[in-house]
Structure 1
Amino acid sequence: MPFPKGLPAQAILDSLADGVFTVDPQWNVTFFNRAAARITGIEPDEALGRKCWEVFRSSLCDGGCALRACIQDGGTVVDQPIFIVRADGERVPVSISAAPLAAADGTPLGGVETFRDLTEIHLLRKAMEASYTFEDIVGKSPALEKLFAILPQVAASPSTALLTGESGTGKELFARALHNLSARKDGPFVAVNCGALPETLLESELFGYKAGAFTDARRDKPGRFDEAAGGTLFLDEIGDMPPALQVKLLRVLQDGTYRPLGDSAARRADVRVVAATNQDLEQLVAGGRFRNDLYYRLNVVRLRLPPLRERREDIPLLAAHFVRKFAALRGKPIQGLDQRALAALLDHPFPGNVRELENAIEFAFILCPGGLIRPEHLPEGLRPAPEAAPADDTPGPRTLEQAKCLAALGALERNAGRVMAACRELAISKDTLRRLLRRARELGLK
C-alpha cells in the first residue's frame, strides 16, 4: 500500500514505536528509523551503509538469520523472539518480523525488518514468576501452595521432619527451605545419602571416628553430625539405612547424644534432623526392615511432596525457570519453548518428576541453536507423534470434535501457553484441555 500523498515516508516511519530498518541485496543498511536508533543505541547516520550484522547484533546473526531466510525463500517471519546487543553491550529482548522487498517487476531490492523492545514485558514476566517462587521452589499449584503455607511454621519448630515423595520431586530443595527459614539458617546445611554408602562407611560418615578405631584410622575424623553442629542434617533415602545404624540414629533422636567410632565419651548433637524417603516407611515397618520406634521419631512432622503429574500447571513455570538457568550457564540465546513443545511437555506423564523435566530442558539446549525450543529439540520420548496427513483437502473443521480441538489450540496460543488462562477462556477443565490437545495431535490439526 503506497504512502498517502504529501506525507513523507521518513516522517511516518520515524513516528513508529517499533524499530524499522531495510537492507539492500548486499546486506547494507539503507534505512534506519528513530525507534531503531533508540533500541540499539546507534544513530541512523552511523547505521546507514554498514552491514546489518554490524549494527543489529542479534542472537541470530551467527546463523539462522530471519531476514536472510525471508529474502532467499520469499516468505515472512512474524514476532520471532530474539536478543540483540546494544552499542553499550546490554542484551535487549526483542520480537522481530521480517519480509523481502522487491520492485514492481519482481526485481529483488533487499529486505525489511521491524523489531519491538520486550524489556518491560520481560521484567513484568519475571516479577510475576517471582511471586510463584518460594525459596528455590517454583510452582503455583494448589498442592504446592498448601506446602508453602505451612513451611514457615514447620521450619520454626525444632522437631524432626520427614519428607516423602517420589524420586525427583525436590526433597532436598524442601529440606534446604526448612533450613533457610529456621533459626538455624546461619549454621551449616549438611546432606547425606543413606543409600549411597555401605553400612561400615555410612556409620563413620555420620558419626566420625577416633584415631586407631580401625586399621586405617590414622587420625581423628569428624562425622556429619559434627559438621552440622548448629545447623541442619538432611538424611536422604532414610529407608535404605541399615538396621544397626537405625538403632544408633534412634539414640541420637531420643537423648541427643552419639559416639564416634572408637570414642568412649558421648558427644552432644546440636542439629535439627530432616529425613526424606521415596519409599513407604509404613510398609518397611510392617516388613520388619525399618524400626517402628525410629519411624515415629522421624514422623513428627510429615510433608508429602506431590509428583509433577499432580501439578501440571507448574510445568510452564518450571520449564521457564530451567530455560533461564541453562541460558545463563551455557550462554545460549534461548528464550523459551514454542507452543507445540510446551504442549508436548504438558502431555507427558513425567515419571521422573521435576528432575526429568530439568534434564529434558538441558537436552534441548544441546540441539536448539537459539530462539525458541521446538518439539524436535526435545528428547525423543517427549516429542509428539508425527502429524497424520489430512484425509482430504476440505478446508476447515468437518466435525464438532475438530472444531473443539482447534479452539483449544487457538486458546493456548493466544494465552502464550498458559494452561489455566486457556481453560478460563474456554470455560473448561485442565483435563478437558489436555484431552483436546492430545486429540488435536492425533487428528493432525495445527
Structure 2
Amino acid sequence: MKAQKTIKSEIKLSGKGLFSGKDVKLVFKPAEPDTGIVFVRTDFEQPIKVPVAAANITEVQRRSALKKGPATIETPEHCLAAINAMGIDNITIEIDSVELPGFDGSSDEFYKTLRKVGVEDQPEAPSREFVIKEPVSVIDGDTSIHAVPSEEPGLSITYDLDYTQHTGIGRQLYSCNLNTDHFERELANARTFCLEAEARQMQAHGIGTHLTPKDILVINSDGPIKNNYRYPNECVRHKIVDLIGDLAFVGRPVSGRIVAYKSGHAVNQKLAKKLAKLARETEKAAASERAVLNIRKIQRILPHRYPFLLVDKVIDIEGDSKITGIKNVTINEQFFQGHFPGTPVMPGVLIVEALAQVSGLLFAQKLEHTGKLAVLLTMDAVKIRKSVVPGDQLILCAQANRVRGRSAKCDCVAKVGDEVVAEAVLKFMLVDEDIM
C-alpha cells in the first residue's frame, strides 16, 4: 500500500495577498501521520487551527476560503494545488494573516518552495486514498463537473474552458494525468486571469489595487494587456490548477477521472463536499467489515446492557495502548425521548460514558486485567465541541497514557467523521469483578 507523506523539514515563505495586498508570512512544517493539511493562524492571541476539510469551506467571491471559528484562510487554492500535486498528505502551514501570498497568480512559488525541502514517506501510515467507484456530478446552470471511475490509477482531469464570447481567450480544452513532473512542467506556472472589465470593477471596490496588468493576466478582446501568455492555453491550465487545489478539500488523495465544463471554485467545492461525504461513508462501510470486537464479544467483556451499552463494535486495537470503537446513534435511543423532544441531541455525559466504556475494553486487553472492571474515578479537561444527533456515527478513540497497578488513565476523543465532538482525560480504578 502507498504510505502517507509529509515534508522533510520546515521552510518559510512570504509575499503579499493577491486580493488584499497585505504582507503575509508562511511557515511550512512537517506533520504527524493522519494530521492532514492544517493551516494555523498565528496572528490571534491563541493560535487557531483551520483544517483543510469540506466542513470548513466558506463562500468568498472569485477564490477559495476556509473558516474555523473567528479564523479565515483566503486564497489557499494555489498553495493547496502544489501540496496536492506533490502527494503531501500531512503538513502544517502557519500563517500570520487572512490571505495567502499571491505572487504572480500561479502555484509556482509554492511548488518550488516545497520541492526545495522535499517529501518523505511515513511508512507506518497507509494512504487514505479515495478511489471513485461511482459517478458523482454537480451541475449549476451551464457549468458542470463530473467525477467518474477510471481504469487507470491516480487522478486524470479534463477541463473545457468556454470563453467563445471573449476573443482574447476563446475556447480551450486540456487533459492530463496528474503527477509531480507534469504539474511542475505544464501547470505550476499557469497564472490566474480576469477580464479587463472585471479588473476595473474589483479595483473600484478596493480589491487588488496594488496590482497592474504586468503582475497578473488582465485580458481584453486582443489578449493580455501589457503582458504575454506563457502558453497559448494558459487560462485553461490555470483552471486545472484551481481544481487540483479545491480537491484538497476532500481531505484525502482522490483517484479517478474529473471532467469539468466552465467550473469555478463554487462548483469545484460542491463536488469536493460530495466526494468527502462519499469517502467517509466508504470508510465506515470498510470499518464495519473489519470489526475487531463485535457486540457479542463486547458483551463478554463489559457488564453494561441496554439501554446503557454505548459501544456497538471495536474496529481497531493497537496492543494495550490504543483503541477505536463505534457507536451508531439512532433516533430509537431511549434518551432522545426526553433530550430533547422535537430537537434530539445526545447528552454530552453519555458521549463521555461511551468513551469510558471503550477505555474499559482497552484495559481488558491486558491479561492481568482480565476479570477486572474499569470503574471511572475522575474526568478532566472535558470539552463538548459539537452536538451529536440521530444518524451520526460516533468514532470513539482512547489512548492509555498511564496504567499502574490498580489505576489507569486515558486520553479520549470522540469524532463524527473528521470533526472532534468531545474530548476528555479519564481516570479509572481497576477492581475485581466479584467485588462489584
TM class by shorter chain equals under 0.3
The structure with the largest alpha-carbon Rg is: 1
Which one has the bigger helix percentage? 1
Q: TM-score, normalised by structure 1?
A: 0.22
Q: Which structure carries more relative contact order (alpha carbon 8 Å, separation 6+)? A: 2
Q: TM-score, normalised by structure 2?
A: 0.23
Which one has the bigger strand percentage? 2
